Amino acid sequence: MKGGRGSTVEVESLDEFDSRVAAGATSLGGWHLQSIDLTARGGVLRELDPAGALFLGCALDRADEQSLRDRGALIFPVVPAVPIDPYRGRLYTAEELYAGLGTGYEHTLDARVYAWSQQPATLDVTLARALHDHAIDDALHDLVPGRRLVGVMGGHAAARGSTTYADAARLGQQLARAGLTVLTGGGPGAMEAANLGAYLADRSPGELGEALATLAAVPGFVPSVSDWARVAFDVRARWPRGTRSVGIPTWHYGHEPPNVFATDIAKYLRNAIREDVLLQLATAGIVFLPGAGGTVQEIFQDACENYYADPSSVAPMVLVGRSYWTEAVPAWPLLQSLARGREMADSIHLVDDVAEVPPLLAQS
C-alpha cells in the first residue's frame, strides 16, 4: 500500500482506506487522505479517532465532516468550479486527458483545463493551481524510486515523417532497451518521438518503422489536434501494452498538446516548476536533440546544475548534432568553456548519431 509504514501514511483510494481499517486501525493520526469519496463510510469514521488526520479534498457527508473537525481532524475542502482535481493522487494518462476526443479536441479534459487556466488569476484559481501542481509533484516522485531516468529534450517542431523525428524515436527505443526510463517534456515533435520509441522498446525495428509510417499521415498537430491525436491512438491500439515512459508537459504551452505515448503524464500548470522537475529527475543524464529556445534554455539550466553539483551528482549531457550545436546554434563551444576545469568536463559529449548515445550514458 502507498505510504507504507511510519508516522505519516498517505491514503489515496477507498480500497487503501478499507484495507487499513480492516487491518485493525483505530486512529487516523498522521493519515493524509487525498481525494477519496468517503460519503459511504460515515459509520466507520465515527468509530475512529481522527485527531491529527489531514483530509485533502475528500467527499464527506456534512455531519461526518463536522464530527471529524470537532474531534481534531484538519479538512481542506473541495475547490469548487474547477475542471481539475487539485488533490489528485496519481499522474495523468493519455486516455484521461483526451477523453471526449471523439467529438473534438475542444471537448477533452486537456483543452478544458487550458481554457480554464487562461482566466484571471483570482484567489480560488491560484490556490487550485498550486494545490494541483503540488499533488502532481508528489505523484511523480512516487514513480522515481528504483528507476534510472534519462531525459530526452528536443524541439516540438520535428514533424512526423522527418529524419529528425525518426532519429528521436530510435533513440527512445535504444534507451529503453538499455534499461533506462525515458523522460521527456511530454509534448509533440522530438518529445513525442522519444516517447514513441520507448513505448515500442520491445518491438522490432520493422514495427517501429511501421508505426512511423502510420504517424506520418498526420505530420503535426496543426491544423487539427484531433486528427494528430487520433492517429497516435491508432498506433497505440495496434501495439498495446507498451514500455513505460514519462512525459512532463505543461498547460503553460496550451497550444502544444501532450503526446499519447508517454504512459505516465505529469502535466503541470506552472512551467517553471515543470522545467525544474524535468532536470532534477533525469539523474541518468539528458540527451539534447536539435531544438530552439526552449531546448537551449534546458541545456544551460542543466549545465548550471552540473557546474555547482557535488562530484558524485554530476549527470551526463549529450548534445546530438555536431554541426547544429557548433554552427546553427553554437551552444557547444559555450558549454565547453563553462565546463573547462570543472568536474562536469568529462560528462559533456557532442555526437552526430543517436547510436552513440546509450554507451555514453551507460558509463554514468
DSSP-assigned letters across all residues of 251-310: GGGTTSPPPS--SEE--BS-HHHHHHHHHHH-TT-EEE-S-SHHHHHHHHHHHHHHHHS-
Q: Which stretches in the chain have pLDDT values below 70?
A: 1-6, 363-364
What's the count of helices (H) and strands (E) in the chain, helices before strands?
Answer: 15, 11
Contacts with 267 (C-beta within 8 Å, 6 or more apart), sequence order:
92, 97, 110, 136, 186, 247, 248, 249, 250, 251, 258
Q: What is the DSSP string of 135-153?
A: HHHHHHHHH-TT--EEEEE
Closest CA to 119 of 241, 18, 251, 12: 251
d(CA 133, CA 20) in angstroms, rounded, equals 27
d(CA 110, CA 94) in angstroms, rounded, equals 9
Write phi, then psi, for 280 (nearest 5 degrees): -65, -35
d(CA 321, CA 331) in angstroms, rounded, equals 11
d(CA 291, CA 289) in angstroms, rounded, equals 6
Answer whether 0.75 is exceeded by the pTM. yes
**Cα 39 to chain center, whole Å?**
31
Q: Which residue has the cell 465515527?
A: 46
Q: Residue 363's pLDDT is what?
A: 60
Q: Which residue has the cell 489528485?
A: 88
Write phi, then psi, for 9 (nearest 5 degrees): -125, 125
**Beta strands across the sheet bearing 74-76:** 9-11, 31-34, 54-56, 74-76
Q: Residue 119's pLDDT is what?
A: 85
Closest CA to 360 of 284, 283, 303, 295: 284
| Separation in Å, CA 113 to CA 79, 116, 193 | 14, 5, 25
d(CA 260, CA 306) in angstroms, rounded, equals 31
- Euclidean distance between the first and the last CA atom of the chain, given in angstroms as a whole number: 32
What confidence tens digit (pLDDT) does each residue in 88-107 have? Answer: 989 999 999 999 999 999 99
Q: Residue 4's pLDDT is what?
A: 47
- Residue 285 contacts residue 152 (beta carbons within 8 Å): no
DSSP tag of 345: G
What sign does the dihedral 222-223-228-231 (CA atoms) show?
negative
Q: Residue 364's pLDDT is what?
A: 57
d(CA 153, CA 174) in angstroms, rounded, equals 15
Q: How many CA atoms lie within 13 A of 197 on its CB side?
A: 29
**Beta strands across the sheet bearing 317-320:** 264-265, 246-247, 181-184, 149-153, 286-288, 317-320, 348-351
Closest CA to 176 of 155, 154, 148: 148
Q: Residue 81's pLDDT is what?
A: 83
